[in-house]
Structure 1
Amino acid sequence: MSVWVLALWGLGGGLAIEALDFFKAVRRVGRGWPWRYPYGPGGGPYLVSVLVRAALSAGVAGAAGASVDCVTPLIAFALGTAAPLILEKLSQQIPVEAGLPLPDPATGADGPTLSQESLPRRERPSDDVEITGMGEGRDAAR
């Protein structure tokens, strides 16, 4: 089967997930569109996120079709369905630093900068840290 056909099946899987997310958001809001203030970022960012995730789904299914000969439309659809979910779970693992100051355009102050002077250096572990061996660890503390 053609790589482009498999990519379209992946696109269909990604759009199916987007449709389910849309229906879930509509039910959460109750009345009105889920991307309107105060429930969402707006129509433009919402559309961009849908297009990016759908393109990711098509890309994953197309790449699988190009690399393996036994990819069927059902597998391509499943890969397209899984791609946005995997991306979402991976993005949840990235810590977000909320305490950083933002640039202030009114005063011209820049945002946070990283310099060698601002980084703390440790020459050796502090005295309150206990270093244990391989067999010890969590189980030994219990």
Structure 2
Amino acid sequence: MRDLSKVFGHRRCAVAVCASLLTLYAVSARAEDAAAGKQQFLTSCGVCHSSDPAAGARQGPNLFGVYGRKVGSIAGFKYSNALQSGDWVWSEATLDPWITNSQEAHPGTFMNYRQTNPEKRKLVIEYLKSLSAPK
């Protein structure tokens, strides 16, 4: 492997170039992950839920900003009693079992969709996380 400091003339310059390349790679990888997460969301959840901030509810509530939001808190949406009386916030710890089997996680809920594949659940959760304002 070549000594990059000889190619770029200075060790700090070589380090800066390497750091820039790593940053570009990381940004590219995050963009690919975001695209994969959005696609998985559309495939798994998009029939019943929207993630567009300007869209209304479908069969399920709009999930834009759901990550970090209190359960059952969108005004005007008819939640099940289990969600209306819930006092948790949507996070990785609450979304993962919910997407796995909502009926088991919170009996009496209306959502029947189940995703047994942990990688697909992770993609959806990361996508939903990306739609929420940092806290």
Same-fold status (TM-score > 0.5)? no
- What TM-score do the two structures reach when normalised by structure 2? 0.28
Structure number with greater Rg is 1
- Whose relative contact order is higher, 1 or 2, with alpha carbons under 8 Å and at least 6 apart? 1
